[in-house]
Structure 1
Amino acid sequence: MIKTIIFDFGNVFINLDIEGAMKHTFNEFEIDGLSEEMIAFNSFYEQGLISTEEFIEFYTENFPKLSNDELIDIWNFMLKDFPEHRLEFLQQLRNNSKYKLILLSNTNELHIDWVKEQVPFYETFKNCFDAFYLSHEINLRKPNQDIFDFVISENKLKANECLFIDDNADNCKTAKSLGIETWHINPETEDVSNLFKIKSDLF
């Protein structure tokens, strides 16, 4: 029986354009792909291992033609809309009080700052959760096993009583290996608000 639902944020609640953002980045940076160093810095930043200032400084050194604001706009390009019906679904879950609700997201400081500015109901959304984990705040990131171990331990959960919802196959694979039920959601064809129809076998 599912007692805890662990949600990803991007492409579960807020829509992302990852492919479009990559094309936009390559175009603005005039490159064909991300270097190993860029990938490493992005990962460090997502885990909160370097500050926003250090992150921007790295990119201004590598792409001096671009201003800080232009770099931030490029970084935030993937973030799109947050359909309000998903908040309403979450609020219904919260009011139901049947499940422990946890958010577990690979989210960096610049992205969450953008969300706080652009999503008027962000605080209402955040307050729906019993626990709210962003990778840059806990210095852990998916799909590494240690982030799931942390959530299970911190909240005294049983893995087989948890459902994890994420749009990333690798993240779901790690969760499943620990005995957690998973829904690898397809943001193109599925919506989190249809959870109880799509995953009726788990409830």
Structure 2
Amino acid sequence: MGMDLKEQEEDIIREVFGSQKIRLYKIKHFIFDFGGVMIEKTFVIKNLIDIIESDLKATIPRSENSYYRKLFRQVGSGVISSRDFITKILDKYYYPIKKEKEGALPEKKVNVSYYLELWFQLYAKFARLSEDMKEIVQNLHEAGYIVSLMSNTFDIHAKSNELKGFYEIFDNVFLSNEIGLRKPELEKYKYVLRKLKTKPKYCIFIDDKMANLIPARQLGIYVIKFESIQKFKEQLGDLGLKDISDVSRKDIKLQYKEYKLIKDEFRKAKKKYEKIKKEFLKTDKDTSKLKIDLQLKFDDYMIKKAEYKKAKLSKKELVSRIKVS
């Protein structure tokens, strides 16, 4: 059986991105998506619209270019409220059709507050924070990383998440309905980087949608496509963070600092050895003292070379190549 279009597109993206060389000692930030990563997808809005259609005997087109999709983007970026979203849908797809069929508008307006409360209750019921992901986020935080949330959401979902304390585990929370920008808009990623006062090369972004990862990678942010908790744990393992509870960003930086120090010492020893070797080969005077000095410099050079070789192997643990997905 052949691949569908979506699978083909994702294969092309993986081929374009290839593997990412991540220097763990440079990473400061982990940025997570929410729906589909921290919680399973709820499909609450789809269910809500299905209920509205059934209750009111209405039809609400939901194609990508429909008026509904335009409102969906507006409520997600905070341009309109959740109440406005439902009201505008009714104004477009219910009242005009009702008037056309019955010759007049209904005597009573639809109770928008009822559907708002239903929306809130549906989301509150089905939105469950993954305990595994919560533990990972907390461990990353305890390891010394700054852990942030970057989510496309709606005011009504954000209110529920806040009441449940879902956002408390993050150092920073960037919600589309509050900042007026949605993924995959490039400006949203730039906004987050500005607020974090950091550079792309210091960040890893995790999202379950490839479309949201592309702009991040274009900016130079390292990205991971979330597919399952088990797969994500394996990807963290590839990064050298298999057991995050035993990892400290401070220790990782110290390990790299020690490597740099050993590397510098090796280069100095090599330079000194090559200098005296050159001097020894050029001179025609009594070389007994030079011979001793040459041997000492050579011995020191070989010791530093062995230390550097060992340090390079240790440094390899701090550099990983991982695929987007």
Q: State the identity %.
A: 26
| Contact kept in structure 1, 2:206 and 2:224, CA below 8 Å | yes
Structure 2 gap segments, 5+ residues each: 1-22, 96-108, 241-319
Match of 1:81 in 2: 128
Letter paired with 1:86: M
| In structure 1, distance between residues paired with 2:46 and 2:211 | 19
| In structure 1, distance between residues paired with 2:153 and 2:321 | 28
TM-score (norm 1): 0.80
| Contact kept in structure 2, 1:21 and 1:77, CA below 8 Å | no
Q: Does 1:111 align with 2:157?
A: yes
Cα-to-partner distance string for 1:141-175 (whole Å, 9 max, x where unaligned): 10010001111122221112211100111110111
| Contact kept in structure 2, 1:152 and 1:159, CA below 8 Å | yes
Q: 1:40 to 1:21 in 2, by over 3 A?
A: closer
TM-score (norm 2): 0.52
| Contact kept in structure 2, 1:172 and 1:182, CA below 8 Å | yes
* RMSD of aligned alpha carbons: 2.9
| In structure 2, distance between residues paired with 1:142 and 1:183 | 15
Letter paired with 1:134: L
| In structure 2, distance between residues paired with 1:5 and 1:106 | 17
Letter paired with 2:148: I
Cα-to-partner distance string for 1:65-103 (whole Å, 9 max, x where unaligned): 964333664587575322223222211221221x12111
Match of 2:32 in 1: 7
Match of 1:39 in 2: 69
By how many angstroms is 1:16 displaced? Answer: 0.8
Q: 1:25 to 1:199 in 2, by over 3 A?
A: farther
Q: Which residue of the other structure, out of 230, 233, 236, is the alignment partner of 1:196?
A: 236
| Contact kept in structure 1, 2:61 and 2:68, CA below 8 Å | no
Match of 1:100 in 2: 146
| In structure 2, distance between residues paired with 1:127 and 1:24 | 28
Instruction: Select the structure of larger CA radius of gyration.
Output: 2
Greater Cα offset, 170-179 or 54-63: 54-63
Q: 1:168 to 1:190 in 2, by over 3 A?
A: farther
